[in-house]
């Protein structure tokens, strides 16, 4: 007699800002046989994945590899490795995840300086550079795409200013990598963290990162080889050591280098998933992928506008992959979301902090970013709103989206 039922998760249309639907080819790759982490066949897959990540990040950096863990693990690894106790860190905040960078920097023992923008907008480059001149930071950490507000922060020129002031620039590109351009070298970004569960359509569980020689120089100045792995005098104990073993990039890069110096047991099946997800991204082509995200955004926005729904935030800095919708007056936003899930199998997101209960967030990311999904969510949202007593022009939302697709 079975004590537990067979696992059979429901099929969902996931239209959140992450996670999103996983490409079936990625799921298939996760079922492949497990190899040992030092098997030459597996280390060849590791090297191939690094090459793919360089293309994704638009970089010639030597170091481009995944940190095992969710996206936050990559952010924490970069910050704990590149922020030494007492460093001055500047963090421009325009949503929830800027506050996360503040939280992590404090835990690194940094002297944290923040500047804040009203949620729904972003910073002008000149504002950030002026504050940099005042603070004289050792590190600037910022979010590229803020999914809590659906806004995209321009980065051009900030990296150059950091070079001129001898500061490192750490960028959270978790929500943007694979959906919009992230020009690591052209924008002079020192360390960039991506995410798997958003525009790459890979399950959450790895955090791709890349960093350049400027960043590597700092993390190597703090490097200490783990005691159980030392073969000689290669691990001074009197340095400002990185305050994490698992997230120490100095040790992680030894693991990903030809040394293959043991650090952890690699997440074999997740690496298969990442490698397949990257293959699909590069097969589609980055420019074609960016254009696909813009097309389905246009269709979704056209449908929402035809329904009479208002968007939240400054349209001039909107993320193509996240659309924020103001919940109509008198409508219970959570009740609508529940109906979408229970009756239509569609998941959209609410938001956080000052936006909780005020907006819905609809993601069009990666494999979820498809025309049939956009049409489905528009039709279901219209039906749910009508059932909640909201008066709107029935049928026009889907028709407006269809118009966009026909014109394209």
Examine the pLDDT at 236 and tell me if it is beyond 60.
no
* Assigned domain for 7 exists: no
Examine the pLDDT at 38 and tell me if it is beyond 60.
yes
Q: Please, what sign has the CA dihedral across residues 42, 43, 45, 46? A: positive
Angle subtended by helix axes 286-306 and 371-387, to nearest 10: 20
Q: What is the mean pLDDT of the chain?
A: 96
**pLDDT number for residue 74:** 98
> According to DSSP H, which parts of 285-370 are helical?
286-306, 333-344
Q: Which helix (H) or strand (E) holds 111?
A: strand 111-116
Asked if residue 351 and residue 364 are part of one domain, the reply reads yes
What DSSP state is assigned to residue 11?
Answer: P
**pLDDT number for residue 223:** 83
* Assigned domain for 339 exists: yes
Give the CATH number, domain containing residue 296.
Answer: 3.90.1150.10
Give CA–CA dist 79/98, Å, rounded: 13
Confidence of residue 232 (pLDDT cuts 50, 70, 90): low
Please report the beta strands in 229-374, taking only residues with DSSP state E, as ranges in sequence order: 322-326, 346-347, 359-363
Asked if residue 169 and residue 141 are part of one domain, the reply reads yes
* Assigned domain for 5 exists: no
* Assigned domain for 8 exists: no
SS3 94: coil
**pLDDT number for residue 169:** 99
Asked if residue 249 and residue 100 are part of one domain, the reply reads yes
**pLDDT number for residue 3:** 87
Q: Which two tokens stand for residue 339?
A: 């109906």
pTM score? 0.96
Examine the pLDDT at 238 and tell me if it is beyond 80.
no
**pLDDT number for residue 237:** 58
Examine the pLDDT at 2 and tell me if it is beyond 80.
no
Cβ-proximal residues to 335 (8 Å cutoff; 6+ apart), any chain: 388
Asked if residue 237 and residue 106 are part of one domain, the reply reads yes
Report the percentage of the chain scoring pLDDT > 70: 98
Asked if residue 303 and residue 276 are part of one domain, the reply reads no
Please tell me the total count of domains within the chain: 2
Confidence of residue 58 (pLDDT cuts 50, 70, 90): very high
Examine the pLDDT at 93 and tell me if it is beyond 80.
yes
Mean predicted confidence (pLDDT) in 133-141: 98
Of all residues in the chain, what percent are helix, strand and coil, respectively (each to 5)?
45, 15, 45
**pLDDT number for residue 200:** 98
Q: Which two tokens stand for residue 4?
A: 């537990």
Of 103-112, 146-155, 168-177, 252-261, the least confident: 252-261
Asked if residue 275 and residue 186 are part of one domain, the reply reads yes
Q: How many C-beta neighbours within 10 Å does residue 110 have?
A: 24
* Assigned domain for 6 exists: no
Site of tokens 């813009």: 294
Write the CA distances from 240 to 82, 86, 169, 243, integer angstroms: 11, 11, 20, 9
Angle at 20 between CA 186 and CA 183, to 5 degrees: 0
Per the structure, the complete domain to which residue 338 belongs is given by 286-407
* Assigned domain for 312 exists: yes
Residue pair 121/98 in contact by the 8 Å Cβ criterion: no
Asked if residue 257 and residue 205 are part of one domain, the reply reads yes
The answer to whether 376 is a known ligand-binding residue is: no
* Assigned domain for 2 exists: no
Asked if residue 331 and residue 259 are part of one domain, the reply reads no
Q: Which of 246, 281, 316 is the last residue of a domain?
A: 281
Asked if residue 57 and residue 72 are part of one domain, the reply reads yes
> According to DSSP H, which parts of 183-243 are helical?
213-221
User: Phi and psi dihedrals of 85, rounded to 5?
Assistant: -55, 130
């Amino acid at each position: 007699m079975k004590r537990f039922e067979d696992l059979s998760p429901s099929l969902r249309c996931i239209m959140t800002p992450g996670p999103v639907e996983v490409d079936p080819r990625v799921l298939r790759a996760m079922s492949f046989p497990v190899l040992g982490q030092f098997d030459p066949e597996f280390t060849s897959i590791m090297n191939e994945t690094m090459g793919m990540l360089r293309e994704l990040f638009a970089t010639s950096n030597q170091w481009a590899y995944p940190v095992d863990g969710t996206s936050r693990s990559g952010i924490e690894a970069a910050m704990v490795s590149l922020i030494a106790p007492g460093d001055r860190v500047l963090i421009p905040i325009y949503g929830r995840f800027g506050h996360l960078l503040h939280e992590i920097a404090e835990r690194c023992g940094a002297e944290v300086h923040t500047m804040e923008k009203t949620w729904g907008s972003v910073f002008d480059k000149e504002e950030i550079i002026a504050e940099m001149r005042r603070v004289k930071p050792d590190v600037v950490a910022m979010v590229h795409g803020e999914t809590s507000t659906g806004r995209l922060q321009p980065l051009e020129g900030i990296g150059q200013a950091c070079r001129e002031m001898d500061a490192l620039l750490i960028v959270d590109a978790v929500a943007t990598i694979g959906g919009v351009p992230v020009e690591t070298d052209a924008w002079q970004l020192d360390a960039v963290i991506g995410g798997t569960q958003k525009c790459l359509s890979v399950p959450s569980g790895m955090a791709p990162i890349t960093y350049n020689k400027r960043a590597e120089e700092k993390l190597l100045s703090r490097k200490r080889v783990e005691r159980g792995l030392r073969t000689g005098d290669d691990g001074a104990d009197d340095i400002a050591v990185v305050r994490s073993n698992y997230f120490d990039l100095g040790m992680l890069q030894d693991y990903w280098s030809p040394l293959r110096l043991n650090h952890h047991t690699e997440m074999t099946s997740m690496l298969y998933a990442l490698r397949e997800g990257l293959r699909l991204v590069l097969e589609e082509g980055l420019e074609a992928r960016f254009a696909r995200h813009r097309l389905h955004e246009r269709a979704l926005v056209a449908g929402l506008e035809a329904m009479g729904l208002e968007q939240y935030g400054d349209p001039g800095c909107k993320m193509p992959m996240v659309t924020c919708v103001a919940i109509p007056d008198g409508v219970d936003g959570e009740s609508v979301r529940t109906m979408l899930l229970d009756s239509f199998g569609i998941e959209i997101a609410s938001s956080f902090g000052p936006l909780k209960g005020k907006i819905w967030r609809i993601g069009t990311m990666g494999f979820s970013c498809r025309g049939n999904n956009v049409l489905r969510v528009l039709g279901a949202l219209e039906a749910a709103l009508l059932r909640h007593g909201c008066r709107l022009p029935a049928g026009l939302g889907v028709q407006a989206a269809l118009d966009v697709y026909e014109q394209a």
